[in-house]
A and B are shown apart, each in its own frame.
Chain A
Amino acid sequence: MTGDMSAVVAQLLELRERLAATAVIAMRAKADAEHGHDQYAEAARGTTHPRLQQAMADMRIVGDKSARIARLLNKARDHVTAYLNRIAPGAVRDGGSHAGAMPTGEQLLADAERRANAKASVGSFLRRAVKNVENIQDSTKTATELGETGVKILRSPSGPKGAQSTSTTTPSSATTVSRPKMDVPEAAAQIAVLGIMTAVAIHKTSQVLGRTIARWRNR
Chain B
Amino acid sequence: MNAQTELTALIRALAKRDWEAVDGLLEELRKKEWAGATQVIGAAFVLAVHRRFRRGQDLRDISNFVAETRSRYEGGNELPALAMEGMIRAALGEVDLMDEINPDNYLPAQIVILGTILQDENLTDDQLDEFVRDVEEAAAEYM
Contact = CB atoms under 8 A, between A and B. Distances in A.
Top 8 closest pairs, chain A to chain B, by CB = A150-B111, A118-B50, A150-B108, A143-B34, A146-B107, A153-B75, A162-B72, A156-B74
Contacts of A150: 107-112, 115
Contacts of A142: 33-34
Interface string B61-77: 10011001001111110
Given A143-B34, A151-B10, 6 more contacts: A118-B50, A141-B104, A146-B104, A147-B29, A161-B72, A172-B54
Nearest to A147: B34
Contact of A165 (B72, B92, B95): B72
Contacts, number: 175
Given A129-B42, A144-B29, A155-B22, A123 B108 contact: no
A150 B115 CA distance: 9
A165 B38 contact: no
Interface residues on B, range: 35 or more
A103 to B, nearest CB: 14
Interface string A61-88: 0000000000000000000000000000
A118 B47 contact: yes
B39 A126 contact: yes
Interface SS majority for chain B: helix
A68 B50 CA distance: 22
A122 interface: yes
A139 interface: yes
Contacts of A147: 29, 34, 37, 41, 107-108, 111
A48 interface: no
Interface in B6-54: 10, 14, 17, 19, 22, 26, 29-30, 33-35, 37-39, 41-43, 46-47, 49-54
B95 A124 contact: yes
B121 A121 contact: no
B108 A169 contact: no
A2 interface: no
Contacts of B92: 121
A90 interface: no
B123 to A, nearest CB: 8
Contacts of A162: 71-74
Interface string A141-184: 11110111111111111100110010111011010101001000
